[in-house]
Amino acid sequence: MDHHDHHDDRPDLDHRILTALHARGAAPGVAAAARVLSLAGEHGALWLAAGLAGAAVDRERRGAWLRGTALTAGAHLASMGVKRLVRRPRPGHVEPLVRTAGRHSFPSSHATSAAAAAVAFGALGAHVVPPLAAAMCLSRLVVGVHYPSDVAAGAALGAMTARLGARWMTGGRDHG
């Protein structure tokens, strides 16, 4: 090991990927879009609103939309609990483009609720949600408030939560 820092390759890769994606925020349009996504995703707000809108519009499947919204909220709460246990500090080597609700980085709660919504609402035919959720996940790196591993872990937690609740969401019919 000939370099001066005593990290394994994983944090270095995390740092390098974050630095590269954060640099994309130098473009004003990219920074603005990432900031809007960050604000909209705070506390899972965009996804909770989408679920409630789905319930209002799709009366036949109102219950499924409401249960999907509950799964999304539950995934978000789970991520906040994991954050309190892990207590990983947010990246310090890049200048954040947004303020954050908390100081802990792992997992990304934005990514958790986004992935939960992508799985839950995607199963109900809301095909715009998965690409929007992917953009939300990427935005957390562009604004410089999470490492890629935070986003990946959050997305996995959210997707797993929604997938485990799929039968409950659809009233016992598994569409997966």
| Cβ proximity of 30 and 24 under 8 Å | yes
Q: What is the per-residue pLDDT for 4?
A: 43
Q: What is the per-residue pLDDT for 6?
A: 46
d(Cα 115, Cα 16) in Å, to the nearest integer? 24
**pTM for the full predicted model:** 0.86
- Which residue in 135, 175, 168, 172 sits closest to 69, CA to CA? 168
**One-letter amino acid for residue 49 of the chain:** A
Going from the C-alpha of 20 to that of each of 13, 16, 37, 98, the distances in angstroms are 11, 6, 19, 17
Residue 90 burial (10 A CB sphere; 0-12, 13-18, 19+):
middle
d(Cα 31, Cα 167) in Å, to the nearest integer? 38
Q: What is the per-residue pLDDT for 2?
A: 41
d(Cα 42, Cα 142) in Å, to the nearest integer? 16
| Cβ proximity of 157 and 112 under 8 Å | yes
Residue 131 has a CB neighbour count (10 Å cut-off) of 11
**One-letter amino acid for residue 23 of the chain:** A
What is the secondary structure of 66-135 as a DSSP string?
HHHHHHHHHHHHHHHHHHHHH-PBPPSSS--SS--SSSB-SS-HHHHHHHHHHHHHHHTT-TTHHHHHHH
Q: What is the per-residue pLDDT for 82?
A: 94
What's the helix, strand, coil split of the chain in %, to 5?
A: 70, 0, 25
Q: Which two tokens stand for residue 172?
A: 């016992």
pLDDT in tens, the chain (176 residues): 344 444 445 558 888 888 888 887 788 888 888 888 888 888 889 999 999 999 999 999 999 999 999 999 999 999 999 999 999 998 888 888 788 878 899 999 999 999 999 999 999 988 888 899 999 999 998 998 999 999 999 999 999 999 988 888 877 654 44
